[in-house]
Structure 1
């Protein structure tokens, strides 16, 4: 089988991770998280970051050992067995499909709030068409996107902090804070950190993966945490937990509350670029994981087809685009984020279990990551947990049905 070209260094890998995380979370997850945690938003962000760090470490060490496309789908298969690799891949595909819908809805909420669902569906259709023709984001375009988003966030934080409209007292957890609310918010905020998986899934395209991936993952995660803490703190100080929880576009609303309406168009552009950039990356990642699973016989064989002219997994991309468009047309952002978080937490739970098998040195962080994923997954909103369990059960049934067919790798 033809191997992908190894062209990405540490800097490019960090940029890819930043493009996935910064665009994926800061414009989307603050409102739903504030609804769960209230004034405990910042402690929830800290909990999410700790779990993300454990997962990032596990992913980096596994990716250095297995530098092939597929991420935890590969790690679970190699370290735990075929079923666990399959379950990781299934969780990734369904979780990230919901992430795609959340990103499309975020773009809609900032660009045209009254028609957010229509904008979201249109964005999915347009980007699926772009991917179908093999026009992928270059490293240069990704750098430009990250630079623009970081510039917008820097402007937002600077204006909010200098406006005099913020109340530092709103940053301290109050009587409304509960442990369950903080953990649920951490699970929702975890959605925003999950972009470092994009670095691991590029293992086959990274130069010197044993050195590059373990450096790129924590760097991208650390930069993202600093950005999130600054933005979350300044928005919370200006809006307060109640207004933040009710806002579909919190950064724009915070700019208005601070008397900086001139900043709203810039925030709108930054949010749209960030969300659509993340959506493009996510569709690429999901379709290629679906391709790998179809090659192994774990998803329908037609999804393994590669277009003879454009050299992309066109059946997988069309299938992913259709499902994402359906979810974007019918779900809300909080529901999409909750469902996505459940699937991604299962995915990283399996990554931590696989890292446990690497040896005693890896076990403390792997155990913390595994426990953290379990706790956060089952403190998400009940509807997200039940939907996630239902989809996982469907995946197990599909595995049982296909298991007896000949030609399955490793069986």
Structure 2
């Protein structure tokens, strides 16, 4: 691939991956878990995300190849851990697809959210199948539009007569477990900075560009999210926020600016559709890579002779996401997605711990804190999400072990 992306391009890609529909959907379930400790949860999620970003950046500089932690885990920890990272990515991001589709539904047509979600999945799967991919220009337009909507929400809420600073005060009933659980859910809104690392073959001077771009994109995202969280809490408070299905729309309505609500809903839909398009694209390509390595059925590695897309993988991913979008709850999808993504980054941090000083190793405390933080947040997610995530991870490990013997036999035959 051609190395044509600079720091600014890489930062924009990271912002496009992070500042999307996550902030429109994750605040409500996080507020339900943390209550008035929501901002503490946001800070905790940001610390873990920073550690993950630093580890990913150093590994990407060392291995400037497409594939992200699927490559890092394989090269630093062994084939099984690379596979498990890929499995976690596919599972977690498939749930993210369902969450994004449901976000479209709850903001566009709340009474028929599941039907709208399925329609969105079918439409965007068709777009990807036809080989129509989101351009860099469209990414910039979507990011600019979403930032404009979020800025409008912050200004409207913060300057409203309904804004009450007392709603930011900590209650006596907040718990450490609740704060950590909310941090795990909010991590869903941060996930995406690794998109920069997966473009390792396309950036100029990756050893310098990637380590600079990832933390910068993360810092900008944190500032935006903190401003939005404060503004929404000022007008809704933690309890009303927790009960809302479309929290940013509810915030502008509570602020008495009803005309802004349709714009917020449209912005959420655009952000979610943009994220969904990119997610389906990414999951299908990772599925293709794992099928080529015989970790998934080989039929998923088929590439269409005319459109040059992995059409079997596209259809399979679209079908699974459509079923999930038709049956899942938005909050459950966010929790399940967070589990898979946190496990993915736990493996990235473990891989970073094996780097030597001459390989660009970060301070050991950073990947160590990231590894511990990912595992703690994964374990403190809502019980249903954590148990379902653990069960699916176990299924993935069993599939690997069952296929290991045949793969070993084929390797021996080739050698």
Give TM-score, length-normalised by structure 1. 0.97
Q: Match of 1:114, SS? A: helix
Residues 60-91 of structure 1 show CA distances to partners (whole Å, capped at 9, x for unaligned) of 11011111111100000000000000000000
1:198–1:285 Cα contact (<8 Å) kept: no
1:291–1:303 Cα contact (<8 Å) kept: yes
**RMSD over aligned Cα atoms:** 1.4
CA distance in 2, matches of 1:89, 1:365: 23
Q: Where does residue 101 of structure 1 map in the other structure? A: 98
1:170–1:236 Cα contact (<8 Å) kept: yes
Q: CA deviation at 1:9?
A: 2.2
CA distance in 2, matches of 1:320, 1:408: 29
1:58–1:355 Cα contact (<8 Å) kept: yes
How many aligned residue pairs are there?
Answer: 408
CA distance in 2, matches of 1:203, 1:27: 29
Q: Match of 1:27, SS? A: helix
Q: 1:166 to 1:82 in 2, by over 3 A?
A: same
CA distance in 2, matches of 1:81, 1:53: 25
2:30–2:185 Cα contact (<8 Å) kept: yes
2:21–2:103 Cα contact (<8 Å) kept: no
Which region of structure 1 is more displaced relative to structure 2, 311-320 or 88-97?
311-320
Q: Where does residue 399 of structure 1 map in the other structure? A: 400
Q: Where does residue 121 of structure 2 map in the other structure? A: 124
CA distance in 1, matches of 2:248, 2:53: 27
Which region of structure 1 is more displaced relative to structure 2, 30-39 or 160-169?
160-169
Q: CA deviation at 1:408?
A: 5.8
Q: Is 2:382 the partner of 1:381?
A: yes
CA distance in 1, matches of 2:411, 2:78: 13
CA distance in 1, matches of 2:313, 2:198: 17
1:297–1:408 Cα contact (<8 Å) kept: no
CA distance in 2, matches of 1:378, 1:98: 18
Which of 287, 297, 314 is 1:290 aligned to?
287
CA distance in 1, matches of 2:256, 2:344: 43
Q: 1:24 to 1:17 in 2, by over 3 A?
A: farther
Q: Where does residue 164 of structure 2 map in the other structure? A: 167
Gaps of 5+ in 1: none
Q: Where does residue 112 of structure 1 map in the other structure? A: 109
Give TM-score, length-normalised by structure 2. 0.96
Q: Where does residue 136 of structure 1 map in the other structure? A: 133
List 4+ stretches of structure 1 deviating above 4 A. Answer: 407-411
Q: Where does residue 332 of structure 1 map in the other structure? A: 329
Q: Where does residue 366 of structure 1 map in the other structure? A: 367
CA distance in 2, matches of 1:408, 1:124: 38
Q: Where does residue 351 of structure 1 map in the other structure? A: 348
Aligned 1:11-410 pairs, distance under 5 A: 11-359=8-356, 361-362=361-362, 363-406=364-407, 407=410
Q: CA deviation at 1:203?
A: 1.7
CA distance in 2, matches of 1:10, 1:133: 31
Q: Match of 1:206, SS? A: coil
Which region of structure 1 is more displaced relative to structure 2, 165-174 or 27-36?
165-174
Q: CA deviation at 1:403?
A: 0.8
Q: CA deviation at 1:5?
A: 3.3
Q: CA deviation at 1:164?
A: 2.0
CA distance in 1, matches of 2:24, 2:173: 24
Q: CA deviation at 1:303?
A: 1.1
Q: Match of 2:54, SS? A: helix
CA distance in 2, matches of 1:295, 1:24: 32
Q: Match of 2:32, SS? A: helix
